[in-house]
Amino acid sequence: MSETDDKIRCDACPVMCYIRPGMTGACDRYANENGLLVRVDPHVLLDRTLHEGGRIAAFAGAAESWSGDIVGGPHPFVTAIGAGTTYPDYKPAPFIVSSQIDGVDMVTVVTEGIYSYCGVKLKIDTDRHLGAECAVVRAEGEPVGHVTTGEYGSQMLSLGGVNHLTHGAKREGRVTCQTLLDLCNGEPVELSVDGGATVVVEAGKPPIVNGQQEHRMRVGCGSATIGMFAKAWFGKVDEVVVVDDHITGVLSEHQAGKLLGARDTGIRMKGRRSTPGRYFHVAEPGTGWGGANITDPLEIVVGFNPKIAWPGMTMLMVSTTGEQHAFYRLNDELKPVREELPESLRESVERVTENCEPALCTVLFMAGAGGSLRAGVTENPVRLTRSVRDALTTVTAGGAPVYVWPGGGITFMVDVSRLPKNAFGYVPTPAIVAPIEFTLRLDDYTALGGHVDEVRALSDVLARHGERATNVFVDGVVARPTGRK
């Protein structure tokens, strides 16, 4: 490939793009602007506009004019968004910034990590069955993850990881990377589960399952619902069945009903009886009542013991969200006949619904920062890992708090909704680029063996707007110095 004087070699990632003037690299994050390698992310552009005398339009309806500050508060703080990376990894992190907080000298080391070992964990609030555990999850027809364990009112998916990014076909890696990037940047993504449902996921928004938007997360399992609302039903109806794919509750048998003095009804249920008033596996998983594959709740009722049940006996059947409910009265043959829901029970059904929280999608970015990224912080990487484990170093991502997993390495998770939108990027290796910051006392950083010669005062960083040296390459040879912003 013949390189000319007008191209710049970008060293922000292993791809090492040659970028023509006015063009961006493969990641769309760096561009050649009149011989300068610059960042083009929205956050960086906004910051430059402010500092270079540009004008920012106020938000519509704002009570007062907006200063344009990305982060509110009296004191600036440093995040890695827009900082650049440390490739090759023996280089110090792009910014190692000193500041004083409450009289203590602190250091914040910021870099944008390039993560092949990363993925997202999705918590999708829905009773609807998305797919069997371990079923393959696809985006654009490519495998990008799998279904994992269902939790309390939520379906969980695990997407990404090094195997999908690098071990599969080239298109699988590209689609996986784009899926992770879109999810982390707050964009909607359509996923399909082999043998299951399709779902549109967007961080902080309700999931859309098989074209139907969810509204409520279940109040609890069937047994828990009985426990919470037994007093609201006792004396108004003879029997209550809360339909749930996992644990269906029956009021007359449940301990809550027994303590209130509920009369036996002789109801016979499908499924496996666990403890009194709690039934497992009354139906197969599905998208019907209570996350089961039924549209008629009577399918889970075998019948009634004629020695115990009586004509005129009433029964309420309700789902764990209250969205489905039906009222029945037994006829002379002890067959349930559906009737209009009495007003005396309507309030209790509405109370179940009222106690259901909004159904949302949660996207957690998860990555391993235990590799060579640490060399940008210290020449002895294991000391950083130990410092994080000993709580001497605080880890954040784009300023957002993270959860660091116990054990070896620095494996962290962060709620993407806590970061500014578009805080994540990618490189075509493929891998996700994500901000990470390490904050600790200056004396601890020195003891860590950190790159103390690279420490710069916060005031100096702000004054210089984050410029740092780089080089222009022509045919692989340094041609002239320039600057990276």
pLDDT tens per residue, range 3-14:
456 888 887 777
What pLDDT is stored for residue 61 in this prediction?
Answer: 47
Other Cβ atoms closer than 10 A to 354: 11
Report the phi/psi class of residue 75: left, alpha or beta, with left for phi > 0 and alpha for psi in -120 to 50. Answer: beta
Q: Which position has the higher pLDDT, 231 or 372?
A: 231
What pLDDT is stored for residue 479 in this prediction?
Answer: 30
Q: Which position has the higher pLDDT, 378 or 70?
A: 378
Does the pLDDT of residue 48 top 90, yes or no? no
- Give the confidence band of 470 by pLDDT, cuts at 50, 70, 90: very low
What pLDDT is stored for residue 59 in this prediction?
Answer: 46
Phi and psi torsions of 464, nearest 5°: -95, 0
| Mean predicted confidence (pLDDT) in 132-153 | 95
What distance, in Å, lies between the first and last C-alpha atoms of the chain? 27
DSSP collapsed to 3 states, the chain = CCCCCCCEECCCCCCCCEECECCECCCCCEEEECCEEEECCHHHHHHHHHHCCCCCCCCCCCCCCCCCCCCCCCCCCCCCCCCCCCCCCCCCCCEEEEEEECCEEEEEEEEEEEECCEEEEEEEECCCCCCCCCCEEEECCEEEEEECCCECCEEEEEEECHHHHHHCCHHHHHHHHHHHHHHHCCCCEEEEECCCCEEEECCCCCCEECCEECCECCCCCHHHHHHHHHHHHCCCCCEEEEECCCEEEECCCCHHHHHHCCCCCCEEECCEECCCCEEECCCCECCCHHHECCCCHHHHEEEECCCCCCCCCEEEEEECCCCCEEEEEECCCCCEEEECCCHHHHHHHHHHHHCCCECCEEEEEEEECCCHHHHHCECCHHHHHHHHHCCCCEEEECCEECEECCCCCCEEEEEHHHCCCCCCEEECCCEEEEEEEEEEEHHHHHHCCECHHHEEEHHHHHHHCCCEEEEEEECCEEEEEEEEC
Residues with Cβ within 8 Å of 185's Cβ and at least 6 positions away in sequence, in order, are 416, 421, 422, 423, 424
What pLDDT is stored for residue 477 in this prediction?
Answer: 33
Does the pLDDT of residue 247 top 80, yes or no? yes
| Mean predicted confidence (pLDDT) in 127-144 | 95
Q: Which position has the higher pLDDT, 99 or 87?
A: 99
Does the pLDDT of residue 140 top 50, yes or no? yes
Where does residue 189 rank: exposed (0-12), middle (13-18), buried (19+ CB within 10 A)?
buried
- Give the confidence band of 25 by pLDDT, cuts at 50, 70, 90: confident
Does the pLDDT of residue 459 top 90, yes or no? no
Note whether 104 and 98 are within 8 A (CB): no
| Mean predicted confidence (pLDDT) in 225-234 | 95
| Mean predicted confidence (pLDDT) in 146-159 | 94
Residues with Cβ within 8 Å of 364's Cβ and at least 6 positions away in sequence, in order, are 120, 121, 122, 123, 413, 414, 415, 416
Least confident window among 92-96, 156-160, 265-269: 92-96
| Mean predicted confidence (pLDDT) in 311-336 | 96
Phi and psi torsions of 34, nearest 5°: 55, 45
What is the C-alpha to C-alpha distance for residues 258 and 267, in angstroms, rounded to an integer? Answer: 15
| Mean predicted confidence (pLDDT) in 309-327 | 96
Q: State the residue for tokens 């004087």.
A: 5
Phi and psi torsions of 31, nearest 5°: -140, 160
What pLDDT is stored for residue 401 in this prediction?
Answer: 93
pLDDT digits (tens, 9 = 90+) for 13-24: 777 889 999 898
The answer to whether the bond into 430 is cis (omega within 30° of 0) is yes
Does the pLDDT of residue 71 top 60, yes or no? no
Does the pLDDT of residue 474 top 70, yes or no? no
What is the C-alpha to C-alpha distance for residues 145 and 424, in angstroms, rounded to an integer? Answer: 20
What pLDDT is stored for residue 41 in this prediction?
Answer: 65
Least confident window among 70-84, 121-135, 165-179, 202-216: 70-84
- Give the confidence band of 436 by pLDDT, cuts at 50, 70, 90: very high
What pLDDT is stored for residue 49 in this prediction?
Answer: 56
Where does residue 478 rank: exposed (0-12), middle (13-18), buried (19+ CB within 10 A)?
exposed
What pLDDT is stored for residue 303 in this prediction?
Answer: 96
Where does residue 337 rank: exposed (0-12), middle (13-18), buried (19+ CB within 10 A)?
exposed
pLDDT digits (tens, 9 = 90+) for 191-228: 999 999 999 999 999 999 999 999 999 999 999 999 99
What are the tokens at 97? 């910034």
Rounded to the nearest integer, the mean pLDDT of the chain is 86
Q: Which position has the higher pLDDT, 83 or 476?
A: 83
